[in-house]
Every structure is written in structure tokens, then in C-alpha cells.
Structure 1
Amino acid sequence: MTHTPANTQPYPFAKRVPAIPPIGAAQASSRSDTIPLSFGAPHSDTFPYDALNDAASEAILSQGRDALQYAGASGPSFLLDWIAARSARRAINVEPSQVLLTYGSQQAIDFAARTLLDPGDHAWVEAPTYFGAVSTFRTAEAVLTSFPIDADGLQTDEVEAALRAAVKTGKPIPKLLYVMPNFHNPGGVSLSLERRKKLAELAVEFNFFILEDDAYTELAFEEQALPSIYSFAPERVVYLSTFSKTIAPGIRLGWAIGSRDVISRMNTFFQGSKASVFSQEIVAQLLKKLPFEEHIAKLNGLYRANRDAMVSALKQYFGDDVRFEVPGGGFFVWLEFREDVDTSQFVQDAYERGVSFIHGKQFFVKPEGARFARLSFSYCDEERIHNGVKLLADAYYAYVDNK
């Protein structure tokens, strides 16, 4: 037991540290029997265990003396080359010096926010949006404004109207606009080609940066990859992605791509160190031997089957009582209930029945989104997905009956 002296005064902690509520009932508990449709995590069967084991051994045996030092061995430079080459598939043509490796894409969001935002600057986001990014922008003491999405992603006409109105009335315009163009978290939708071009045009015209978070880009089940927003305005976009969804989240490696000026500024936040050079060495050794296209095809086969299982179960147990877009990739299905539903009111009952999900209000910066819910089809197998959706329906209809 910690003893606090009687004369100890309250300490004035930094106000920038946000009070973050727990995200989803299941994530605050260690119950192992719950079906976690709240978990936006990869399926553990997708991790290339044998290949990672061989890569880690190779990193130790052949590169260990350098790989375990601060600067690392050859792995970091190999990864920069590999990422630059792979990015050409998204019409991103950059030199390796324009790539910054980070501890997952979350750190890249943080470094970009610290580079682009001063306290009081405005950041615009989608509604709904990824709550991890919202937390980062709030910690940066940004003023947040949100704009709706639809089946084609962020509604750029509303963004344009707001920009023009702000200029006309002398109100602030954003320093940063955060968007997820492919298989949106939580919306599951992708930004249309026309809207990608429009956002790029607006960023150049109004002189703000777009933070393009493309974590799920490789997980495309049917769709052809569209060009990145970056490709239309490389001088005003920072592009982010990650190995968390394609190799494993535990390796904690993501990256940012931008102009040399932006990347050099973001790099200063490492204070002379780098994102785990040993993890970089392992991933480099892995990618030298792993047939990556076959690996991605395996992932997408599993996730496509999981998505189909979830869509089938939703239609079976909810019928027309819920609406959703069938995602063409990624991890998530975004449910929309009728106007008078508040999904936060049956989160606990669903959890007690044996399934977790995340209610919609968690994904908005304003007090809205009560009738929405996010389900993840990535973490569980098809049978558990089916059973989890049934338990969710039981909780929902019990809520409706009790209203």
C-alpha cells in the first residue's frame, strides 16, 4: 500500500492529457468467453509464424552485432526501399528518403500532428472517424470540426462549402484534414476517385495538409486499388500506412510518406533514435523471402469469408431492422439502426450475453452517432462471428421490447 504524506499538495498535471473513456465494455474486462466483435485486430491465424521465426533467427545470427545497436544494420534501409517501391501501386512515386518508419501508424499520426498543429489550430475530421486519431489531435490541443461520410467516403462538397464560407467570413480554416480513404474505420467505405481529386485540389487551394491514413489498403477483397490522395497533391499530403494489418501488430512498425521537409521535421521527434531497428531488421529479413502477394491473397481470402459470414448473419438475425454498406475490404461493418435507437444502451446487456461491440458515439467528436455501432469481422472465426451476431440481435430486440 502506497503511503501519501498528509502535507502532499495536489499536482497540476498538464491539461493537454485527455480524459479518455474506455472503448467498449469487453476491452475493460478479461472475460475469455466473450465473442469480441469489438476487437479491430487481425486474426491470429494470419501471422506468418514460421517465416517470422526464421527472419528473427537470421536477424540475430547474421546481423545481430549491428541490428541490436542504435542505428541497426541493413534492415532499415531495405525497408525504406521496399516501402517506396510498394507505394508505387498507389501511384505514390517517392525516394526512400521521403519515408519515415515509426512505431506503428499511431505514432506517425502523433508526429504529423505535432509537426503540423500548434495549440488552437483547427483540424477537420470525418464523422465518424478513428478515435485514436481524435485523441491525438485533442492532445495536440487542436480545435476539431467533423464532416459526414456516405457510401463514397467523406462528403467533399460539405468540406468545400465550409472552406469557402470560412474564407468569406474570416473564420479559421484547418491546418490539417484527417481522412481514411480505403475501407474506413469504422465506416467500411472507400473514398471515390472524384472525391480524392477534389480533396487534393482543396488542400492546394486553401493551403492545408491532408493526413491520409491508409492502414487497410492491402486488404481489398474485390476492388481495384484507387490512386492515393497523395498522388494528386504530394506537396500537401502526408500518407500513412502500417505492417500491423499485413504482418502482425506486435512488431509495431508503420510509416509516413511526405515531402522531404515534412519528413525531416517529423523525424526530429525521435530525438536521435529510431523506431525499433531490430524489428525493422526482422521484417526486412521476412520480406526478402516471404512471397508477399501469396501472403496477402491468403489474408484476403480469410477476411473475405469472415465478412461474408457477418453479412449473412446480420441479414438472418436483423433483416431490415439495420442498414449497412457491405465493405469491399478492411475489418469493419458499420451498422445504422433507426433514429430512436441508442446502441450504448445495450452494450452491457450484449456483453453479459457473451458478445462485445463498440457503440457509435465513440467515433464522433460531437455528441452524435447514438444509432450506430461498429462490428469487426477480422478477429473471430466464422462460427464465432455468426454466434456473436445472434447474441447481439438478442440484446438489441430485448432493448427494443423494454423501451
Structure 2
Amino acid sequence: MLVCKQERSMAQNLDPKSDGIGVLQFKVGLVTVIKQRLAKKHGGQIDQRRDIEHLWEFYQRYTRLHRVGDIQIQEPTWRESGTFSADFGNCLEIKETMATWRTLVEVMKALSKDADPNGVGKLNTEELRRVENTDATLSGELTAYKDVLLEAPPLAVGAFPEVRGAISAFRYTNQFPRLPANFEISGQRDADMFDLLECVFGFQKDNVRNQRVNVVLTFANAQSRLGKPIKRIDEKAMNEVFLKVLDSYIEWCIHLRISTLWNSFEALGRDRKLILVSFYFLIWGKAANFCFLPNCVCYIFHHMARELDAMLDNGEVYPAASCKTESRSVSFLEQISLPIYEALDAKAARNNNRKAAHSAQRNYGDFDEYFWSLACFELSWPMRRNAQILLKPKKGIFASCIGTLWRT
């Protein structure tokens, strides 16, 4: 019941005004479970001030029953060997145990602020501190790649030479400028190229973590298909991934008759190829609805990569001008994704729930067509917020936009 209450609170805080049927069903379902649990307990009355005490007691019983501490201790050995001890069950059982345990920890964090600092609150705080330190220590250099290790036989994946070679290839080298001293690297691992891109362009940490795993596995898979299980990404595998991922960008440049980010493919270094592939995936991973706009994504990638080039040439890390916010922080989501999403949403709203005449409707294809012409460079970089393509439509007035009518 306590977990359901916390999930209900999180869902409400994330999207309090949502009228989507899925979100509403989720919230109603949680409320129903909570009411059912309350009805079984003292006629529906529970002193919520004791929530943290109840949770602490349950947490202790759960960790003892499922031997969570022993699982954490054995984790490094399993990761290296790829095998599990029968004493702890199979991979799926361990995964479910640890997933439940992490959920309990998250709820404890949320409730600890209201706990008695001299009673259970103190014990709770000490346990959370211990969990944080232990989790970081045991995860080691693979903290950022731990998602790779979740499926059966997951712990063997981290031991594959292709995966280790891919992880090693992305580590920070002396060719890159030093990261700011105040930039925090998650877990106990070496800095890598994704940290540089996160620091400069303000990509969200979840996106960075997801794409780090995605890119590592992509290169590892390409390496494995070559039948060369070496701890270094082969040049052939690297070129295969690079050309496949950036194929649409290369085609976009050819169509517009502009130069790509590189003058000669043969002259591109390994680090350069790796960071460009990572950069493209990070942009696509946080593109929201405009991930369906390949030409728009190419336009953004083209300009942001040039910003990165200038930074690397100067040997200095600083916030990218295109992603700077008013508070002087950096956020790709706020400065790049949001303006485009709002423009798409406003134009789609004029479709009258698809009842408007076909000639008056605007969709993804219409918007993306703008970026299939040299006229898109009039948008400039950083993007001009008052550009025609980003203006929200006004009722009853039409204007031409690169061969496509846009309601302005």
C-alpha cells in the first residue's frame, strides 16, 4: 500500500492535469488498491505518520528473507563468470528481488524527510547512505552500463571481450579537453565521451545512460559479427556502424549540396567517429516527437556538431550557446526539443481532430519538408525563435512555407 501511495504521488506530480486514458486508468488503479488495503486495516483508518516505521520493518524483513546483502557481495563474481549460484535462484529471480529492493529504497527516500530524526529516521538515513555507497562500489566501472547486465544470461555480457572493448573505446583520452571540476560522474568509473556531451549540451542523464548502453552494444554487436573477439573495436566494425547510423545525414548533405562535418572520411580518427555516432544517438534519443523528422534531426546534428568541433579545437569545455538557458545552465530539452515540439503541437491542433480539409492539415511530413531545402538555414543557429517555421498559427491566416502552406 505504501508503494502504491508513493507511485500515485509521483504520477500526480509528474502530470497532474493529464486526461489521457492510460494515465487516468493508472491513477485510478493505484487509488483502488490503496482503498482496498485501507479497508482491511482497522476500518480504513491508518496513522500515516507511521508509514516510515511500517516500511522500515518490512524493508528489514525483505532484505533478510531474500539475502539482498549476500547478492550484492556476490555480484562482481557473477559478472565476471556469467554464472549464478543455486543458493540465490536463477537470473530472473535475482532480477525481481533486486528490482523490488530498489523500489523499497526509493520509497524510503521519499518518506525519510518526514521521519523522526532521532528514531527510525536516523536508522533510515544511515541505511540509505550505506546503500548509496555500497551500490556505487559494487557497480564499479560498469555502473553506467549496468542495464546491459539485467537479462539472462546478463552477467556474462559484461565479460564478453567485444563489450569490454566497446566500453574501453569510449573512455576519455588526452585528446579531449578536461571536464570542469564540478561536473559529477555517476558511479565509480572513468569519464567517457558521453560525459563530455552531457556536460556541454545538457542532455538528460537518463537519456545519456540509455544511449551509452545502446551505442556500446551496437559497436559490440558489429564486432562480434566479424568473428574477432578482441578487446578493441576493429576498424571495419567501426566504419560499418558509423556509415549506417549517419547514412541519413550523409544523404541530407548530398541532397542540399553542402559539406559534411568531415572533409575526408579516410582522415577521420577513431575518437571522432565514436563521438559523432554517440552525439547523433543522444540527439535522436531526446528528440521527442520530432524523432520522426529525419531532416530536422540532421539539421540539428549538423549545427550542434560544429559547435562541438569548435570546442574541441580550442581545447576547452564550456556550455554550448545553442543550449544555454536563461539561468545560464544548459538543456537540450528546453532549448532545442521544446520549441520544435510546441510548433508541431500548435500546427497539429489546427487540424480539428483530422476533420479539417486535407489541404489545410499540417503533419510531420509537411514540417520536415522545410528541412529538405537550403531555406532551412534561414532558421540560423542557435535557432531564431521568431522564425516562420517556429511561429504558432494564428486563426484564419495562411502563409507559404517552402512550397507547403502553413497556418501562421
Structure showing greater relative contact order (alpha-carbon pairs closer than 8 Å, 6 or more residues apart): 1
TM-score of Structure 1 vs Structure 2, range by shorter chain:
under 0.3
Higher helix share: 2
The structure with the larger Rg is: 2
With the length of structure 1 as denominator, give the TM-score of the two structures.
Answer: 0.25
Higher strand share: 1
With the length of structure 2 as denominator, give the TM-score of the two structures.
Answer: 0.25
